[in-house]
Chain A
Amino acid sequence: MKLAYWMYAGPAHIGTLRVASSFKNVHAIMHAPLGDDYFNVMRSMLERERDFTPVTASIVDRHVLARGSQEKVVENITRKDKEENPDLIILTPTCTSSILQEDLQNFVNRASLDSKSDVILADVNHYRVNELQAADRTLEQIIRFYLEKAKTKNDLVIEKTSKPSANILGIFTLGFHNQHDCRELKRLLTDLGITVNEILPEGGSVTNIKKLPNAWFNLIPYREVGLMAAKYLETEFTMPYVSITPMGLLETENCIREIIHIIKDLDPSYDLDFESYIDNQARFISQAAWFSRSIDCQNLTGKKAVVFGDATHAASMTKILAREMGIRVSCSGTYCKHDADWFREQVDGFCDEVLITDDHTQVADMIARIEPAAIFGTQMERHIGKRLDIPCGVISAPVHIQNFPLGFRPFLGYEGTNQISDLIYNSFTLGMEDHLLEIFGGHDTKEVITKSLSTDSDLVWAPEALVELQKIPGFVRGKIKRNTEKFAREQNVNEITLEIMFAAKEAVGA
C-alpha cells in the first residue's frame, strides 16, 4: 500500500481509452463498475469535444460479482455493434476486471461471431503499466491486428508511394497540445517535400491501417506513445522511423537531418537544399534564435530553473533552456520511471541533477530546496510554484482545461520554438514583477474583510454574523457585505445579525 495524494500518470485503461477514442468509428467498452467512465467527462470537458465519447461501460455490479458477467459483456458488445456500427470495438479491462479474472478473451471471441465490427481485447494489465505505457501498447496492438488481418486477407499494399511520405504516429486525444503539434508537423513535412500518408490514432480510420506500409518512414514525435508501433513496423516491414522530438531549434534541426538521411537512402535523387532551409528557418523565420541573442534574453543568463514533466517534454525543455537560452537547469526530472535510462542520457550535461520520481512531494521538496527563479512542469508544479511564490510555465501533461487553448499553440517545429520562447520569457518576467510588487507592498493582508475603501460605517456587525461573513468565499465577500449593509440601511437597522444577513440575501437575490 502506498499513501498517495496525487498521480502524474493515470491508470492503464485511460491510455487505452485515449487511443481508442482518437480513432474514428472505434468504440471502447469498459468492463468496470458504475462511475469508472469518468474518462468521458475528461474528454468532454478538457477537449471540449462536440461528439459523444465513444466509450461505454459494461457495468460490474453485485450480480456480476456473484455470478460473473456471463452474457452481459457479450450483449453489450453486440448491442453497441448494432447501435453505432463501429469498425472496431475494444473491450477494455480495468483494475476491477484485473482481479475478477474473468475470461474476457472468451467474451470477445463469442461477441465477434455475432458482430459486424471487429472486436479485440486490450492487452493491458492495470497493475503493471500506467496510462502512457498502455496507450503505447494499445496503439501497437491495433496496428498489428489490422496489418495481420490484411496479410491473411492478402490485401496488404506494401508498395511505397512515388513521392517521399511519412506516417505520424502518436497524436491522440487529451495529449498535451497534440492537435497543434500535428498541424505544425504537417507543415514542416510539406516544407521538406514530404507528403503525410497516415496520422494515427487521432482522426484516423482503422480501415486505413493497411496502408501504413506505403509510407517511406514513420515519425514518432513523442517518446511515450507510438514507439512500440514504430518498432513493430520496422521489424515487420523494414520501415525506418525517426523518434527525435522536433522541439527547440537544435532538436528540430536534428530531426530534419535524420529525416533527410532516411529519404536520401531510399531515393538518392532527392535534392532539397535542406541546409539552407534549416538555416533560413532558424535565423529568420523562427524568432527564437534572434530572441536568445537579444538583450531581453541576456537578463535570463544563469538564472536557475527546474524542469519536470513527461520524458519527451522535460528532456526537450531542459536542452532548450540550457543550450539555446543559457539558463541554468538546476534539476531536471520526469515521472516516466519506465523510461529513466533514456531520460538520464538525454539530459546528461545539461542539468546539475536528475530526479526520477512519480511522487509529487519529492518534486515539491526539491523545488523548495533549490528555490529556482522559474519552474517548467505540469499543473502540479504550477501549484507547487503558487505555494512557494515561484512562477511556472506548464510544459507537459497532466494538464487542466487551460492547457487546451483554442488558438494555435504548438510546442513542436519552428512555430513551436516561438511559443516556447514566449512561455519561458513570460514565466521569468512575471516572477520579477511579482517580486517588485512584494517589495513595494502591493498586497492586502488576509484578515481584511472587504476591499471597500471607506471605513466610516455606522453599522455594527453582530459577532455571529461576522463569523458567518468570514465563511463566505473571499471573492464575493465584499459584495455580500455591501449588499447586506445597504439592505440594513434601507430597513433602518443598525446592528447586522444573522437574520438580517439572510433576509438581505433573500431581498436582493444574490
Chain B
Amino acid sequence: MTMTNSTLTESLTFDCETGNYHTFCPISCVAWLYQKIEDSFFLVIGTKTCGYFLQNALGVMIFAEPRYAMAELEEADISAQLNDYKELKRLCLQIKQDRNPSVIVWIGTCTTEIIKMDLEGMAPRLEAEIQTPIVVARANGLDYAFTQGEDTVLSAMVQRCPNTPSVTKDLKEILPTQQKNLETVGQKSSLVLFGSLPTNVATQLTLELERCGIQVSGWLPSQRYLDLPILNDNVYVCGINPFLSRTATTLMRRRKCKLISAPFPIGPDGTRAWLEKICAVFGLRPVGLVEREKKIWDSLQDYIALVRGKSVFFMGDNLLEISLARFLVRCGMIVYEIGIPYLDKRFQAAELDFLEKTCHEMNVSIPRIVEKPDNYNQVQRIRELQPDLAITGMAHANPLEARGINTKWSVEFTFAQIHGFTNARDILELVTRPLRRNKALENLGWNQLVKI
C-alpha cells in the first residue's frame, strides 16, 4: 500500500480490505454488561480459548467473584456424546442455586455455531423448567467484532421488554414515575435510550434531556433486568453508541418503535447535535444548548492547543471510530484514516453526514474510511504517513511506540466515560496523554527503540 491509497479526499469514500485485523472477541461485552445489569448472570458457552481470552482481557475483574462463567465445552460435548440440554440444565441449576440471578444470559460462541447447538431452541424449554429467564445472544468471532457483542445481547433483550400499560387504563393504577413520564410526553409517546453506559453517565445524559424538557422513560439495558423499559409503537428510541445497529433494527421491526437517527453524544458537538435531533423529533426548541456547547469548548482550550494541527490514524477495532474522528476533526486534528470493523451506513447515517459537514467547516479533507482493515497494510501506511498519533489495539501499541509513533490504546475509549458534555474532557485526556507524556521525553533522544 502506498501514499496514493491514503490520499485525503473531498467526499466520503469507503474502502474494504481483507479483514486481517486485530480486535477483541465480542464475548468481551460480558465484562461491562454483567456490571451494568446487576441481577444478571452471563454464561459463555465455549471452549478454553474463550475462557482464556476473558481471563486475560478482563484482568483482575475475575477475582471479584464475577457474575459470569464459562460453560466449557469438552470433547464429549463436541462429539455429541453428552446431551447439551441436560448439561446446560445442570450448570444453570447450579448458577441458580449459587447466585439466584433474575436472568441468565447465554453467550453463544464460535464453537456453538459450528456444532450448531440450538441455544435458541433450548432456552425457552429450560426457562420454563428452572423458572429463570434465559436470554440467548450469539456474540461470536465468526460474525462480529468487539463492541458488537453488546449489540447482540441488547437486541436479544429487546424481546424481553414489557409492553406499555394500556393508555385507557386508569392513571391511578400506574406507578407514579410512569405517570409522570406519560404526562410530560403528553401521554402520546415516550423516549427510551439504548446502549450500556456507566450509571452516572446515564444520569448525566438523562439530566441533559430533562433540561430540554424531555423525560427519559427508560434505558436499555436498565440497572436491573427486572426494570427493563416498556416498548411499543408509541415509543421513540435513540442509540447512544455507534455499534448498536442490530438493536436498532430489532427495536423497529419487532417492537415497532420509532428510531431517532442522530449523531452520537460523543464530544460536545456530538452531544448538542444528539440533543437537538431528539428535541426536533419531540417538537421542542432547545434552549441554551449553543451556549452550553461553547462553554464546554472553552473549558477544553488547554487540551485543544495540544492537538490542533496534529494528525491521527485510527486502525479500527471498536466501531467508535467515526464519532471519535468527527470530534477530533472539530478539535482541529487531521484524520488520515478511519479504520472500522463494520460500518452500518444507515444506522450511522447522521454521524457520517456530521463528519462530512465537520470536515468542510474545519476546512480539512475528509478521511478515508476503511472497513475490515488489514493491519499489515495499515502499519505500512503508518510508516509512510508518520501520524502524530495512532489509535490502535494493544497488540500494536508497544511495537509502534518502539518505532517512534505515539499511540493510544483504542480499548480505553470503550471503558472510559466519553459520552455527554461533561465527559468531553475525558476523551481529550486520553487522546493527549501520549502527546503530553512523549513531549516530556522528547529531548532525550530515545524515540527509536528498535535496531533498524
Chain A residues with a Cβ under 8 A of chain B: 1-7, 10-11, 13-14, 32-38, 40-42, 44-45, 48-53, 56-57, 59-62, 65, 76, 83, 94-96, 98-100, 126-128, 130, 380, 383, 386-387, 400, 468, 471-472, 498-499, 502, 505-507, 509
The answer to the question of B47 belonging to the interface, with a C-beta cut-off of 8 Å to chain A, is yes
Stretch of B18-26, B118-126, B181-189, B433-441 lying at the A interface: B18-26
A62 to B199, CA, bound (A): 36
User: What are 11 sample pairs from A and B whose C-beta atoms fall under 8 A apart?
Assistant: A1-B45, A1-B88, A1-B91, A34-B144, A41-B22, A62-B143, A65-B114, A95-B48, A96-B110, A99-B114, A383-B60
Interface code B384-407, partner A: CB below 8 Å = 1, 0 otherwise? 000000000111111100100000
CB distance from A4 to the nearest CB of B (A): 4
Please determine whether B74 and A35 come into contact, CB atoms closer than 8 angstroms. Answer: no
- On chain B, the number of residues with a Cβ less than 8 Å from chain A's Cβ atoms is 75
Please determine whether A94 and B49 come into contact, CB atoms closer than 8 angstroms. Answer: yes
When distances are taken between beta carbons in the complex, the residues of chain B under 8 Å from A61 are: 19, 142-143
The answer to the question of B421 belonging to the interface, with a C-beta cut-off of 8 Å to chain A, is yes
The answer to the question of B140 belonging to the interface, with a C-beta cut-off of 8 Å to chain A, is yes
Please determine whether A37 and B398 come into contact, CB atoms closer than 8 angstroms. Answer: no
Which B residue's beta carbon lies closest to that of A499? Answer: B207
Please determine whether B69 and A37 come into contact, CB atoms closer than 8 angstroms. Answer: no
Please determine whether A35 and B71 come into contact, CB atoms closer than 8 angstroms. Answer: no
CB distance from B397 to the nearest CB of A (A): 7
CB distance from A68 to the nearest CB of B (A): 12
Please determine whether A5 and B19 come into contact, CB atoms closer than 8 angstroms. Answer: no
Please determine whether A126 and B396 come into contact, CB atoms closer than 8 angstroms. Answer: no
Which B residue's beta carbon lies closest to that of A464? Answer: B203
A40 to B22, CA, bound (A): 9
Please determine whether A36 and B69 come into contact, CB atoms closer than 8 angstroms. Answer: no
CB distance from A394 to the nearest CB of B (A): 14
Please determine whether B82 and A1 come into contact, CB atoms closer than 8 angstroms. Answer: yes
Interface code B363-402, partner A: CB below 8 Å = 1, 0 otherwise? 0000000000000100100000000000001111111001
Please determine whether A7 and B52 come into contact, CB atoms closer than 8 angstroms. Answer: yes
When distances are taken between beta carbons in the complex, the residues of chain A under 8 Å from B23 are: 34-35
For the complex with contacts A4-B72, A10-B48, A50-B398, 15 further pairs of A-B residues with Cβ separation under 8 Å are: A1-B74, A5-B70, A6-B55, A7-B52, A11-B52, A33-B25, A33-B140, A34-B25, A34-B141, A44-B395, A99-B78, A471-B200, A499-B207, A505-B422, A506-B421
When distances are taken between beta carbons in the complex, the residues of chain A under 8 Å from B421 are: 506
Please determine whether B394 and A41 come into contact, CB atoms closer than 8 angstroms. Answer: yes
The answer to the question of B349 belonging to the interface, with a C-beta cut-off of 8 Å to chain A, is no
User: Which residues 87-106 of B sit at the A interface, judged by CB distance below 8 A?
Assistant: 87-88, 90-91, 94-95
Task: Select the residue from B48, B57, B88, B299 with max chain A CB neighbours within 10 A.
Answer: B48
The answer to the question of B225 belonging to the interface, with a C-beta cut-off of 8 Å to chain A, is no
Please determine whether A33 and B142 come into contact, CB atoms closer than 8 angstroms. Answer: yes
A99 to B77, CA, bound (A): 11
Task: Select the residue from B22, B397, B425, B449 with max chain A CB neighbours within 10 A.
Answer: B22
The answer to the question of B66 belonging to the interface, with a C-beta cut-off of 8 Å to chain A, is yes
Which B residue's beta carbon lies closest to that of A506? Answer: B422
When distances are taken between beta carbons in the complex, the residues of chain A under 8 Å from B450 are: 50-51
CB distance from B339 to the nearest CB of A (A): 14
CB distance from B242 to the nearest CB of A (A): 18
A65 to B111, CA, bound (A): 11
Are A49 and B399 CB-contacts (below 8 A) given A34-B145, A127-B75? yes
CB distance from A392 to the nearest CB of B (A): 12
When distances are taken between beta carbons in the complex, the residues of chain A under 8 Å from B144 are: 34
CB distance from B116 to the nearest CB of A (A): 10
Please determine whether B399 and A52 come into contact, CB atoms closer than 8 angstroms. Answer: yes
Are A35 and B52 CB-contacts (below 8 A) given A4-B70, A471-B200, A498-B207? no
The answer to the question of B227 belonging to the interface, with a C-beta cut-off of 8 Å to chain A, is no
Please determine whether A95 and B113 come into contact, CB atoms closer than 8 angstroms. Answer: no
Are A37 and B19 CB-contacts (below 8 A) given A1-B71, A56-B376? no
A65 to B24, CA, bound (A): 20
When distances are taken between beta carbons in the complex, the residues of chain B under 8 Å from A128 are: 75
Please determine whether B48 and A11 come into contact, CB atoms closer than 8 angstroms. Answer: yes
When distances are taken between beta carbons in the complex, the residues of chain A under 8 Å from B82 are: 1
CB distance from A382 to the nearest CB of B (A): 9
Chain B residues with a Cβ under 8 A of chain A: 19-20, 22-27, 45, 47-49, 51-53, 55-57, 59-60, 62-63, 66, 69-75, 77-78, 82, 87-88, 90-91, 94-95, 110-111, 113-115, 140-146, 199-200, 203-204, 207, 295-296, 299-300, 376, 379, 393-399, 402, 421-422, 425, 449-450
CB distance from A86 to the nearest CB of B (A): 13
Are A33 and B110 CB-contacts (below 8 A) given A52-B399, A61-B19? yes
Please determine whether B207 and A100 come into contact, CB atoms closer than 8 angstroms. Answer: no
Please determine whether B70 and A99 come into contact, CB atoms closer than 8 angstroms. Answer: no
**Pick from A76, A95, A468: contact of B47, CB under 8 Å:** A95
**Pick from A35, A76, A83, A126: contact of B48, CB under 8 Å:** A126
A61 to B372, CA, bound (A): 12
A104 to B407, CA, bound (A): 37
Which A residue's beta carbon lies closest to that of B341? Answer: A34
Task: Select the residue from A59, A60, A96, A505 with max chain B CB neighbours within 10 A.
Answer: A96
When distances are taken between beta carbons in the complex, the residues of chain B under 8 Å from A37 are: 22, 395
Which A residue's beta carbon lies closest to that of B95? Answer: A3
Please determine whether A35 and B111 come into contact, CB atoms closer than 8 angstroms. Answer: no
Please determine whether B399 and A51 come into contact, CB atoms closer than 8 angstroms. Answer: yes
**Pick from B62, B88, B199, B376: contact of A471, CB under 8 Å:** B199
Which B residue's beta carbon lies closest to that of A472? Answer: B200
Please determine whether A1 and B24 come into contact, CB atoms closer than 8 angstroms. Answer: no
Please determine whether A502 and B396 come into contact, CB atoms closer than 8 angstroms. Answer: no
When distances are taken between beta carbons in the complex, the residues of chain B under 8 Å from A32 are: 141
A40 to B376, CA, bound (A): 14
**Pick from B71, B200, B376: contact of A2, CB under 8 Å:** B71
Which A residue's beta carbon lies closest to that of B115? Answer: A99
When distances are taken between beta carbons in the complex, the residues of chain A under 8 Å from B45 are: 1
Please determine whether B52 and A41 come into contact, CB atoms closer than 8 angstroms. Answer: no
Which B residue's beta carbon lies closest to that of A45? Answer: B394
Please determine whether A468 and B114 come into contact, CB atoms closer than 8 angstroms. Answer: no
Are A49 and B142 CB-contacts (below 8 A) given A4-B70, A94-B49? no
Are A40 and B422 CB-contacts (below 8 A) given A11-B52, A33-B110, A100-B114? no
When distances are taken between beta carbons in the complex, the residues of chain A under 8 Å from B140 are: 33
Are A4 and B51 CB-contacts (below 8 A) given A44-B396, A61-B142, A99-B111? yes
A477 to B113, CA, bound (A): 44
Please determine whether B70 and A3 come into contact, CB atoms closer than 8 angstroms. Answer: yes
CB distance from B272 to the nearest CB of A (A): 14
**Pick from B113, B204, B376, B395: contact of A41, CB under 8 Å:** B395
Please determine whether B49 and A95 come into contact, CB atoms closer than 8 angstroms. Answer: yes
Which A residue's beta carbon lies closest to that of B424? Answer: A506
Which A residue's beta carbon lies closest to that of B77? Answer: A1
A386 to B63, CA, bound (A): 10
Are A36 and B49 CB-contacts (below 8 A) given A7-B55, A506-B299? yes
**Pick from B56, B207, B393, B402: contact of A50, CB under 8 Å:** B402
CB distance from B72 to the nearest CB of A (A): 4
Which A residue's beta carbon lies closest to that of B140? Answer: A33
When distances are taken between beta carbons in the complex, the residues of chain B under 8 Å from A400 are: 59
When distances are taken between beta carbons in the complex, the residues of chain A under 8 Å from B19 are: 34, 59, 61
When distances are taken between beta carbons in the complex, the residues of chain B under 8 Å from A386 are: 63
CB distance from A21 to the nearest CB of B (A): 12
Are A60 and B110 CB-contacts (below 8 A) given A35-B25, A35-B141, A38-B24? yes
